[in-house]
Amino acid sequence: MVLASIAAVAQNNNVIDEIIWLVGDEAIFKSEVEEQRLQAQIQGVHWDGDPYCLIPEELAIQKLFLNQAEIDSVSATPSEVSERVEYYIQMLSNQYGGLEKLEETSGMKLNDLRRKLEESQHNQIVTAKMRNKITENVTVTPAEVRRVVKDMPQDEIPYVPPLYEVQIITIEPKVPQEEIDAVKAELRDFSERVQSGSTLFSTLALLYSEDEVTARRGGEVGFVGKGEVVPEFATVAFSLTDPSKVSKIVETEYGFHIMQLIEKRGDRVNVRHILMKPKVPDTAVKAALARLDSIADDIRNQKFTFEEAAPALSFDKDTRNNKGLMMYHPEDALTSISKFELQQLPQEVARKVVNMHVGEISDSFTMLNKQGKTVCAIVKLKSHSNGHKATVTEDFQKLQTMVLEKKCEDVIMKWIREKQKTTYVKIFDGWNECDFRYPGWVLKE
């Protein structure tokens, strides 16, 4: 991804760069195009046209947004840029097996890689803000949605896949106190070994931590803000001051942790941690499954309803106050949604509901919750709709979003065409024989 393109450019520093476009006072360099082309190639992007035409034009459009952002005082804060950069560093570190491997593969020190990413992430954030500013007053009325859908060719109406509404009750099998004590004793032993200098924290994390993602890189979490981790973890992580010390044991919903400070940077901190989860005995799992089967039988026998049982009996904090209804929040939605496509449900839940009838209650089963803990569950299929072409009656929100996005895109396209008329543009020889998406580029000498 980003790393491969950075590495490729870093390995070709002996190639003389050249300016290929000028947009206002901003230059587009051949190296920028090569970076993006290599990045897309590694991601498996299929170009609908010549990348040496498409990429420079996209970069030119970004320059238009950035120029306007400077005029309108639209900017990205250092914390916004830092957060995005650290996200990419973390993603690349996961992909390549740790920060050391990341440096080795990219041929760049971590601080140099951060600086390389800062400009691109800053530009992406500002461009997104500028697009939002241009379209902030765009709205669509129900009448517009109905009119657009009425006039839309059948093959352009979106297909809505089968959707499932599911209610769930979970019970966490009881962990014996002796198992909790054993985990704490092992973590205390790890702390003593690190404090004595006999073993590195990173070695113990690699060997014993049950957080598989961070264990691969010696327990390193990466830079996080307080709101990005659970409160109990954040309290301890941000209280650390001495990288040679090991924290006290802290319990979170994921299990028990010890931590070691790596670095603090402003309002973000990077620590190593070791996570250990007390083991749940089979007898406790069987007892929880039996209890859930009894609850399911009582619901089927109408002693009480699923909706009454969930708030009173379920351990799942995300659903118990919503009568057990499972919800998720898409990035592009204003509110949470209860209707899932099958692949959006946890795998164990999907296996149950795919063959159930509406109103049916499953037998009990085990699954891993969001925290990676084994829990026991029963589910009820509240509703199910077959796959179909979207209709205004059943799928208004989906169609409204589609119409709004198209209207915003039209506004953006009009804005770009107006900017093309008033912005100095020069496309150098060898780069101007293109069928551009926006044909209004003014070619001036």
Backbone angles phi, psi at 229, to 5 degrees: -130, 165
pLDDT at 39: 67
User: What is the distance between the alpha carbons of residues 161 and 26, in angstroms, rounded to a whole number?
Assistant: 45
pLDDT at 71: 92
pLDDT at 16: 62
User: What is the distance between the alpha carbons of residues 230 and 224, in angstroms, rounded to a whole number?
Assistant: 11
Nearest to 427 by CA among 44, 63, 87: 63
User: What is the distance between the alpha carbons of residues 23 and 62, in angstroms, rounded to a whole number?
Assistant: 10
User: What is the distance between the alpha carbons of residues 210 and 47, in angstroms, rounded to a whole number?
Assistant: 41
pLDDT at 3: 47
CATH annotation of 2-139+404-427? 1.10.4030.10
Nearest to 68 by CA among 392, 422, 355, 381: 422
pLDDT at 43: 56
Domain 160-174+281-389 belongs to what topology? Answer: Chitinase A; domain 3 (3.10.50)
The pLDDT averaged over each successive group of 10 residues in the chain (445 residues) is 45 66 91 81 74 93 93 88 79 71 78 82 92 94 94 91 95 93 96 94 94 86 86 95 95 94 90 94 95 97 96 92 88 71 93 96 93 91 93 89 93 94 90 87 61
- Structure tokens belonging to residue 387: 């796959």
User: What is the distance between the alpha carbons of residues 289 and 169, in angstroms, rounded to a whole number?
Assistant: 11
Instruction: Note whether 2-139+404-427 and 177-276 share their fold.
Output: no
**Residues 6+ away with beta carbon under 8 Å from 278:** 175, 179, 180, 182, 183, 255, 256
Q: What is the 3-class SS of the chain, one letter each residue?
A: CHHHHHHHHHCCCCCCCCEEEEECCEEEEHHHHHHHHHHHHHHCCCCCCCHHHHHHHHHHHHHHHHHHHHHCCCCCCHHHHHHHHHHHHHHHHHHHCCHHHHHHHHCCCHHHHHHHHHHHHHHHHHHHHHHHHHCCCCCCCHHHHHHHHHHCCHHHCCEECCEEEEEEEEECCCCCHHHHHHHHHHHHHHHHHHHHCCCCHHHHHHHHCCCHHHHCCCCECCCECHHHCCHHHHHHHCCCCCCCCCCCCEEECCEEEEEEEEEEECCEEEEEEEEECCCCCHHHHHHHHHHHHHHHHHHHCCCCCHHHHHHHHCCCCCCHHHCCECCECCCCCCCCECCECHHHCCHHHHHHHCCCCCCCECCCEEEECCCCCEEEEEEEEEEEECCEECCCCCCHHHHHHHHHHHHHHHHHHHHHHHHHHHCCEEECCCCCCCCCCCCCCCCCC
What residue segments make up the domains of the chain, in order of their start? 2-139+404-427, 160-174+281-389, 177-276
pLDDT at 113: 81
First to last CA, the chain: 36
User: What is the distance between the alpha carbons of residues 445 and 422, in angstroms, rounded to a whole number?
Assistant: 15
CATH 3.20.20.10 fits 177-276, yes or no: no
CB count, 10 Å around CB of 406? 12
